[in-house]
Amino acid sequence: DACQEQIWFMVVLNGIVVPLVLRRRGCAQLVLITLLAVSVLCERLLVELSDYSLGWEHAKYVRSSLFDIRIVCVESSVFGLWSDHIVVEVAQSDADYVKRNLLSLERIERVEEDRPVSRRRLQSRLQKSLKEYPSPTEYHDVLALHKKGYRGQNVRVAIFDTGLSNGYQRFFNRPVHLTDWTHDDSPHDSVGHGTFIAGLVAGKVRGCPGLAPDAEILTFRVFTGSQTSHTSWFL
């Protein structure tokens, strides 16, 4: 049939490039001939810009400037916040080409790999009962300072860790500000380390108060439940 025509096009689904082949029959009906999924290795590029702006504005600038380059996605954990960086995800085979083109843009200061970070799972190595250990406030004789009125008033402490457990607010005197920069489905601490550190700093648990119970805590969840992270999540 002279009207038969094959139509090729590409779609990207969750980082997977899927080529589709459609055949037009009788210039009217489209029939799916082939569906082939090919896994593509991607590289995350951390892009530093010369100015602070909303994350979505940076993303718009990069996309409009590199409209002819195949970009899998432009990501920013701070789309609604002020930032000087975004993450561009590209096919690994295109990474060097994209880097060169990004660095040619006026507002781009630096481009480097958004390095993944992992740390070993934390394990308890207690040699005796917890009751036999003094609390940090007792060990450092901080309770004497508390009695004199030194309790961390007007102090802000930022903690970059695994976040806080669900229901964390009841453990603190002051409101705690929590932001999640990971890709986990839940924003809560499933490891326990971030919750422990925040309690060590400003907890109000009877018998084991924090070092500065009246301090304001800013918690940034930058490690997932599997103890992985990326450079960009700290920025």
| 109 lies in the same domain as 61 | yes
Which of 54, 86, 57, 84 is CA-nearest to residue 73?
86
Residue 123 confidence class, pLDDT cut points 50, 70, 90: low
From 73, 95, 113, the end of a domain falls on 113
Structural domains counted in the chain: 2
Q: Report CA-CA distances (Å) from 59 to 22, 104, 188, 207.
A: 33, 16, 28, 49
Mean pLDDT of 158-162: 93
Contact yes or no for 143/134 (Cβ under 8 A) = no
pLDDT given at position 128: 53
CA distance 70 to 41: 13
Comparing 43-52, 82-91, 122-131, the range with the smallest average pLDDT is 122-131
In a domain, 136, yes or no: no
**What pLDDT shows up at residue 54?**
84
- Within a domain: 109: yes
Examine the pLDDT at 224 and tell me if it is beyond 80. yes
Mean pLDDT of 32-40: 46
Judge contact between 213 and 152, C-beta under 8 A.
yes
Choice among 8-12, 54-58, 68-72, 86-90 with the minimum mean pLDDT: 8-12
Residue 220 covered by a domain: yes
Domain of 79 in residue numbering reads as: 49-113
Whether 100 is in a domain gets the answer yes
In a domain, 197, yes or no: yes
Average pLDDT over residues 93-105: 88
* Type of residue found at 106: E
Q: Do 171 and 213 fall into the same domain?
A: yes
